[in-house]
Amino acid sequence: MKVNLPKVLIGTSLVYFLLPYLLFFYYWFFNPLNIALVILLIVLAWYYIFYLKFLQIPIINVKIKSLLIMAIIALFWTIFTGTGGLVAQTFDFRGQQAKMFDLYNSQWPLIYDYNNLEIIYYFGYYLTPAFLMKILGQYSSVIFVANTFMGLYLSLLWIYLLVNK
């Protein structure tokens, strides 16, 4: 069995990168601007997918074995970077996870009491997993690891596609 990599990769990447923007625009901007920005992003994504149907994208078939090898590489890379606390982490990583914990625990937009300003720095990476944790009602390293794995896996697939093996 083979998979047509370009079309699957484009669609998956679009969803993966669109979600944090949708969350950020919806929660960090005021009404009605937030609704307008979310609608604009959805319309642009829909237009892009619609336009993509008419493009002549060369078909690159990839064996399932190659996809699995890249998935294993992405999984090991995710685990050994310290994501989710599965192995030793650097001090910076623990600090970044504290930000995600704040995103999970607090209402959005996130505002710290000490300065009463909205926090917007460096949260794109954390918004989707924090949102999923909020929906599930519990903090979960598995969601954080899965999100990081997906980003690394997509990166490896893009590299594979661009260098064509």
Q: Where are the beta strands (DSSP E) in 11-146?
A: 61-63
Q: Rounded mean pLDDT of 34-59?
A: 87
> Do 100 and 126 touch, CB atoms closer than 8 A?
yes
Does position 82 have pLDDT exceeding 70, yes or no? yes
Higher pLDDT, 135 or 56: 135
Dihedral of the alpha carbons of 58, 17, 36, 132, in degrees to the nearest 10? 130
Does position 94 have pLDDT exceeding 60, yes or no? yes
Q: Nearest-CA neighbor of 74 among 157, 163, 165?
A: 157
Question: To the nearest whole number, what is the mean pLDDT of the chain?
Answer: 86
pTM of the model: 0.86
Higher pLDDT, 137 or 59: 137
Most confident of the following: 50-59, 89-98, 101-110, 120-129: 101-110
**Residue 153 — pLDDT band, cuts 50, 70, 90?**
very high
Does position 14 have pLDDT exceeding 80, yes or no? yes
What the block records as the tokens of 92 is 């910076």
